[in-house]
Amino acid sequence: MNELLQQLTEAVGVSGAEHEVRALIRDLIADHVDEWHVDTMGNLFALKKGTGESDLRVMVDAHMDEIGMLVTQIDRDGSLNFLNIGGINDRTLPGKVVQIGAKKIRGVIGLKAIHLSRTSERRSVPRADSLRIDIGASKKESVRKVNVGDRVAFVSEYREMGDIAMGKAFDDRAGCAVLVELLRGEPFPFDLHAVFSVQEEVGLRGAEVAAYAVKPDVALVLECTPALDIPYDEDVSTNLSLGQGPGVYVMDAYTFHDPRLVAHILKTGEKEGLPVQIRQPGGGGTNAGAIQRATGPTPTVTIGLPGRYAHTPNMMISLQDYANMVKLADASLRGLTRDVIQTD
């Protein structure tokens, strides 16, 4: 069992309330870094001093936050109204177990019995504003146990089955786990500025101020990227495939990932005998979109771990892909020199 992935994915950190994840990561890295601090938005910065061989300022980012919900109102019957935080499809909500606030009060998102529903209701997507979280309490009890403004996360136990791991929030605790492993390794030739960022799911907001603060020469984003190698009759983009190695981004809705860095990562993969996929260009986006423009032009690239069923309580990754992503990120950083990003 990969305890790091288990701890990180089972921890709760919905955008804007990343406290538990931040404290956990701080504990995981504190003995392996030279300095750490937290900024006003909640980004956790860690400095791992290099060997002194290189004066590059390198930032590596992984976001701590996960999608979830926000309690907006307590109804007369004690049930809770909520808003979605981040890109949750309403189709995901019915029939799920959730945890509310710092006390992790258990609740469920129910659905009016199928027997009581009209045909038209049964055939439509129930909208979030018609659903409620039920903690099994009267209004009086609910008011005592839950606060308006509490964040709500899905409940999902981490589980492994052969090469497969299932659970919530691999997006982007898998990236956080890779970054923790990098910090626990040998020093790099340069100072490594690790950023565990907040609020990616609501518009790449944490990384934007973090990049401004770090002012890196070059940045690497570690993500968990939708793998869409699933059954469908049409020949559509698979984005990434599970088990085929980590993916390097070329282009998404926000960013042309730096072609020199893309080439460097592909070359590193080849040299190290590591499988690397090119993430199919298209929509989507990562913190690279914020980092590359936050402090003047910053060559930035993203490596993504293929993950099926992003933004649901039950994602799936390959542990082999994860292991290869740690190796690829590590080797790519160790081979990173000023020459790689030299403009001719």
Q: How far is the CB of 262 from another protein (least distance, A)?
A: 23
Does 236 engage in binding with another protein (CB under 8 A)?
yes
CA atoms 102, 16, 96, 1: torsion sign: negative
Does 91 engage in binding with another protein (CB under 8 A)?
yes
Q: Which is nearer to another protein, 35 or 157 (CB)?
A: 157
**Residue 200 is a catalytic residue:** yes
Does 232 engage in binding with another protein (CB under 8 A)?
yes
For residue 104, give the 3-state DSSP assignment: coil
Single residue of 5, 21, 131, 261 touching another protein by CB under 8 A: 131
Does 73 engage in binding with another protein (CB under 8 A)?
no
Q: How far is the CB of 176 from another protein (least distance, A)?
A: 22
- Amino acid at site 274: L
Single residue of 13, 68, 107, 304 touching another protein by CB under 8 A: 107
**Which of the following is catalytic: 18, 66, 200, 223?**
200
Residue 303 CB partners (closer than 8 Å, separation 6+) = 220, 221, 222, 223, 246, 247, 248, 249, 265, 325, 328, 329, 332
CA angle 142, 143, 146 (to 5 degrees): 70
- Dihedral pair phi/psi, residue 309, rounded to 5°: 65, 45
* Residues 138/78, Cβ–Cβ less than 8 Å: yes
Q: What is the spatial distance between Cα 118 and Cα 130, in angstroms, rounded to a whole number?
A: 15
For residue 151, give the 3-state DSSP assignment: strand
Single residue of 62, 64, 109, 220 touching another protein by CB under 8 A: 109
Q: Which is nearer to another protein, 153 or 219 (CB)?
A: 153
> Interface with another protein by CB under 8 A: which residues?
75, 77, 79, 89, 91-92, 94-97, 105-116, 122-126, 130-132, 134-137, 141, 145, 156, 159, 161-164, 166, 228-232, 234, 236, 238, 241-242, 308-309, 312-314, 316, 318
Would you name the residues annotated as active-site residues? Answer: 200
